[in-house]
Amino acid sequence: MDADAVLAGKHAIVTGAGRGIGRACALAIARAGANVAIASRSRPDLEQLAAEIEKIGVRALVTPCDVTDREQVERMAKEALDAFGALDILVNNAGAAKSQPFLNHPDEIWDEMIAANMTSVYYVTKAIAPAMVKRGRGRIINIASTAAHVGARYVAAYTASKHGVLGFTRALALELVAHGITVNAVCPGYVDTPLTQIAIDNIAKVTGRSQAEARAALAHKSPQNRLITAGEVADVVVFLARDASFGINGQAINIDGGAVQT
- Out of 122, 123, 154, 158, pick the active-site residue: 158
Cα separation, 238 vs 260, whole angstroms: 22
| Cα(155)–Cα(100) distance, integer angstroms | 6
Does the active-site annotation cover 158? yes
Question: Is the dihedral angle over the CA atoms 41, 47, 52, 57 positive or is it negative?
Answer: positive
Instruction: Kindly state the helix (H) or strand (E) to which residue 21 belongs, with its residue range.
Output: helix 20-31
Nearest to 26 by CA among 92, 124, 75: 92
Q: Which residues are designated catalytic? A: 158
